[in-house]
Amino acid sequence: MEPVFDVSAFRQALGQFPTGVCVVTSVIGMDKIGVTISSFNSLSFDPPLILFSIDNRAASLPLWTKAEGYTINVLSENQTDLSSRFSRPLTNKWEGIACQLKAGCGLVLPGAAALFHCTRWAVHEGGDHLLFIGKVNSFLSFRDRRPLVFSRGRYAALESEVNDEASWPLAIHY
């Protein structure tokens, strides 16, 4: 008999890996879409590729499959309100938000710690999610803004850097 796979223990173990929090956005015709994600990651430097995944049950998924471009807004530590807003299937997610369109990509939210403007590179099935790969056309990093962190199902902030000076680039580039 196959041992039962404990999904809640699996989720708990994954929570031991802290991530940032992003809102990925796009525009399809007249529709603006935006979803809070922690699945953003770098994929390739040459060509410059990033990835994220969207749950098959997400209300906006049918629109994501049509998107030709994306903007990844990496949230700053003071943007938990935006994270909450874009993590609910609301119809009025955009109400009162002054966002800017990056042509061919997505929408820029004010105050992000970094922005990645991408065009669709590939979309793959990945179990109960779709995996989106974007080619980065341009990016911006606001180094005076500290990123929001998500770990163990909670938001966190970077309290202090381990070293004042970043040890970048490491020999392995990570």
Residues that bind ligand FMN (CB under 6 A): 21, 35-39, 53-55, 58-60, 83, 87-89, 150
Q: Give the nearest distance from C-beta 84 to ligand FMN in angstroms.
A: 7
Of 89 and 110, nearer to ligand FMN (C-beta) is: 89
115-131 in b/e form (b: 16+ CB < 10 A) is bbbbebbeeeeeeebbb
Taking the complex as a whole, the smallest distance from the CB of residue 11 to ligand FMN amounts, in Å, to 12
User: Least Å distance between CB 1 and ligand FMN?
Assistant: 32
CA distances from 36 to 83, 87, 111, 173 (A): 6, 5, 15, 27
Nearer Cβ to ligand FMN (78/166): 78
For ligand FMN, the closer of residues 18 and 89 by Cβ is: 89
CB of 104 to ligand FMN, least distance (A): 22
Dihedral class, residue 59 (left if φ above 0, else alpha if ψ from -120 to 50, else beta): alpha
* Non-local CB neighbours of 92 within 8 Å, separated by 6+ positions: none
Strand partners, 52: 132
Tokens read off for 89: 């299937």
Q: Which is nearer to ligand FMN, 14 or 166 (CB)?
A: 14
Q: Which is nearer to ligand FMN, 81 or 144 (CB)?
A: 81
In contact, 124 and 64? CB cutoff 8 Å = no
Report, in Å, the least distance between residue 34 CB and ligand FMN: 7
